[in-house]
Homo-oligomer: A and B are copies of this chain.
Amino acid sequence: MTAFSTPETTTLKLMPPSESKARVSQFMRQLQDTICQGLEQLDGVATFKEDSWERVEGGGGRSRVMRDGAVFEQGGVGFSEVWGENLPPSILTQRPEAAGHGFYAIGTSMVLHPRNPYIPTVHLNYRYFEAGPVWWFGGGLDLTPYYPFSEDAAHLHRTLKQACDANHPDYYPVFKHWCDEYFYLKHRQEMRGVGGIFFDYQDGQGLLYRGPHPEGEAASYSSKVGEVEPRSWEQLFAFVQDCGNAFLPAYVPIVERRREMEYGDRERNFQLYRRGRYVEFNLVYDRGTIFGLQTNGRTESILMSLPPLVRWEYGYKPEPNTPEAQLYEVFLKPQDWAKWTPASS
Point out residues on A near B: beta carbons under 8 Å.
51, 63, 65, 67, 74, 76, 186-188, 272, 276, 279-280, 283-284, 293, 299-300, 302-304, 306-315
Contact indicator A65/B315 (Cβ below 8 Å): yes
CB pairs A–B below 8 angstroms (19 shown): A51-B315, A74-B314, A76-B314, A186-B293, A187-B302, A279-B279, A279-B283, A280-B283, A283-B283, A283-B284, A284-B284, A284-B293, A300-B314, A303-B312, A306-B312, A308-B311, A308-B312, A309-B311, A310-B311
Residues of B within 8 A of A283 (CB): 279-280, 283-284
10 further A-B pairs in the complex, CB-CB below 8 A; given A51-B315, A187-B299, A300-B314? A65-B315, A74-B314, A186-B293, A187-B302, A272-B309, A279-B310, A283-B284, A308-B311, A309-B309, A309-B310
A307 is contacted by which of B293, B307, B312 (Cβ under 8 Å)?
B312
Tell me the bound Cα distance from A311 to B280 in angstroms: 14
Chain B residues with CB below 8 A from A276, complex form = 306
A contact patch SS:
mixed
Q: Which 9 A-B pairs have the closest CB atoms?
A: A283-B283, A306-B312, A310-B310, A65-B314, A187-B299, A187-B293, A304-B314, A283-B284, A300-B315
A306's closest neighbor in chain B, by CB?
A: B312
- The complex places the Cα of A309 from the Cα of B309 at a distance, in Å, of 7
Shortest CB-to-CB span from A123 to chain B, Å, is 15
Say how far A280's CB is from chain B's closest CB, in angstroms.
Answer: 6
Q: Which residues of B contact A307 (CB under 8 A)?
A: 312
CB distance from A303 to the nearest CB of B (A): 7
Q: A298's closest neighbor in chain B, by CB? A: B187
Report the separation of the CA atoms of residues A67 and B309 in the bound assembly, to the nearest whole angstrom. Answer: 19
Name the B residues within 8 Å of A63 (CB-CB).
314
Given the known interface contacts A283-B283, A284-B293, the answer about A308 and B303 at a Cβ–Cβ threshold of 8 Å is: no
Chain B residues lying within 8 Å of A284, measured Cβ to Cβ, are: 283-284, 293
Chain B residue contacts of A310, Cβ below 8 A: 279, 309-312
